[in-house]
């Protein structure tokens, strides 16, 4: 199972790089939320689209492409994959999803690009909007997102 998870993460990293582009930087902030159900997942996607529009950034929904790519290799999870990216100027971006987590757990990482102060402002905006709908947990630096025991499976 560990090998399968690493394979999934490697595939996701490749797909994310193709969809969003690679800044070459580790995220300066990673947060995690529990969407609870399909309705929460739909609200999350709408929220991400709205944030991208408001911030004049590109919204990327790569969930279906990622799911299809994994299915061709017989490693697709048995739930709907979420993968979102929001990409702005100067390498500022946010991307994440539920791969390697449960269906309703989402981890999001923020990259600073060449304008760290603007990237931090953007991260603050996103986290504030998410907090209006769900509890937001900060993943400790140097750690990855882990399963949330209270999130629906």
CATH number at 13 reads 3.30.160.110
Query: Does residue 44 sit within a domain?
Result: yes
Tokens of 22: 């690679």
Radius of gyration of the chain (CA): 15
Is residue 78 classed as helix, strand or coil in its secondary structure? coil
- Asked whether residue 106 is assigned to any structural domain, the reply reads yes
* Residue 45 resides in a domain: yes
Q: What's the domain range around 28?
A: 2-138
Q: What is the pLDDT of residue 96?
A: 95
Q: Is 77 inside a domain boundary? A: yes
Indicate whether 145 belongs to any domain. Answer: no
For residue 151, give Cα distances in angstroms to 53, 78, 106: 29, 17, 10
User: Distance between CA 62 and CA 57 in Å, rounded?
Assistant: 16
Is residue 144 assigned to a domain? no
The 3 state secondary structure assigned to 33-68 is: EECCCHHHHHHHHHHHHHHHHHCCCEEEECHHHHHH
Domain count for the chain, please give it: 1
CA angle 148, 108, 29 (to 5 degrees): 100
Half-sphere exposure in the Cβ direction for 69 (13 Å, CA): 20
Task: Report if residue 143 sits inside a domain.
Answer: no
Q: What is the overall mean pLDDT for the chain?
A: 86
pLDDT in tens, 118-129: 999 999 999 999
Of the chain, the end-to-end C-alpha distance in Å amounts to 17
Is residue 102, in this structure, part of any structural domain at all? yes
Range with the poorest average pLDDT among 31-40, 51-60, 85-94, 144-153: 144-153
């Amino acid at each position: 199972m560990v090998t399968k998870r690493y394979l999934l993460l490697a595939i996701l990293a490749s797909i994310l790089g193709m969809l969003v582009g690679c800044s070459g930087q580790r995220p300066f902030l990673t947060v995690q939320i529990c969407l609870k159900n399909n309705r929460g997942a739909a609200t999350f996607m709408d929220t991400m689209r709205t944030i991208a529009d408001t911030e004049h950034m590109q919204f990327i929904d790569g969930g279906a492409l990622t799911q299809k790519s994994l299915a061709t290799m017989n490693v697709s999870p048995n739930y709907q994959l979420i993968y979102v990216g929001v990409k702005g100027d100067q390498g500022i971006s946010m991307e994440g999803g539920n791969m390697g987590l449960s269906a309703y757990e989402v981890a999001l990482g923020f990259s600073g690009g060449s304008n760290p102060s603007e990237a931090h402002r953007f991260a603050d905006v996103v986290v504030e909007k998410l907090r209006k709908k769900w509890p937001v947990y900060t993943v400790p630096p140097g750690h990855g997102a882990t399963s949330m025991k209270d999130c629906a499976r």
